[in-house]
Structure 1
């Protein structure tokens, strides 16, 4: 069995607020790539709940955070459709993402 690793290194200020983040993905050819935000979700099968880590650097611009969240909403629809085959629900998620973009005044 092959193993691989994805890591995120976080530099914190004196108040434990992220100042700099880099990530590595061995198989993806990513090494010390800087990022301003990350959202990680894992499924706890025992508790039947999603566990999350949401981090962003203190210099992450608000307009970019809005764009980041919009793209995550779109990708959730894509993932949902691939996982379930339910095109109608995936389309609804896509529409919700577009409504979010309008309400958040995201400039695309």
Structure 2
């Protein structure tokens, strides 16, 4: 069995607000920690049948990039849901919503 480890390092200011987020993986060709401005981590707790979440972003994350981050996250969640369930119809609905979201947030015209 192969094992891989993902490591997140969050550098906080005096008020515990993230200043830097770094991630690295033992399974990556790049062995250096890479900086990111935002992250969403969702884990399924099978015992309680609910989702555990960590959503973090650095204090210098621009609002326009946060809008794009949410848009792309919604899009990729649809892709993942399709691969996991094969539920084409609902994924098409989610993609339609993503277009609506992008238009409202002025991400796309």
**CA distance in 1: counterparts of 2:90 and 2:77, whole angstroms:** 11
8 Å Cα contact 1:4/1:27 also seen in 2: yes
Write out aligned runs for 1:74-85 (5 A).
Answer: 74-85=75-86
Match of 1:97 in 2: 98
Match of 2:37 in 1: 36
How many residues in Structure 1 have an aligned counterpart in Structure 2?
108
Q: Which moved more, 1:59-68 or 1:98-107?
A: 98-107
Write out aligned runs for 1:20-99 (5 A).
Answer: 20-30=20-30, 31-99=32-100
Match of 1:2 in 2: 2
8 Å Cα contact 1:76/1:93 also seen in 2: no
1:27 partner SS: coil
**CA distance in 2: counterparts of 1:107 and 1:97, whole angstroms:** 10
1:40 partner SS: strand
Gaps of 5+ in 2: none
RMSD of the TM alignment (CA)? 1.2
1:9 partner SS: strand
- TM-score after normalising by structure 2: 0.94
Within the alignment, does 1:14 sit opposite 2:14 as a pair? yes
Alpha-carbon offset, residue 90 of structure 1:
0.9
**CA distance in 1: counterparts of 2:107 and 2:65, whole angstroms:** 9
- TM-score after normalising by structure 1: 0.95
Q: Which moved more, 1:86-95 or 1:36-45?
A: 86-95
Alpha-carbon offset, residue 28 of structure 1:
2.2
Structure 1 segments, 4+ long, off by >3 Å, are: none
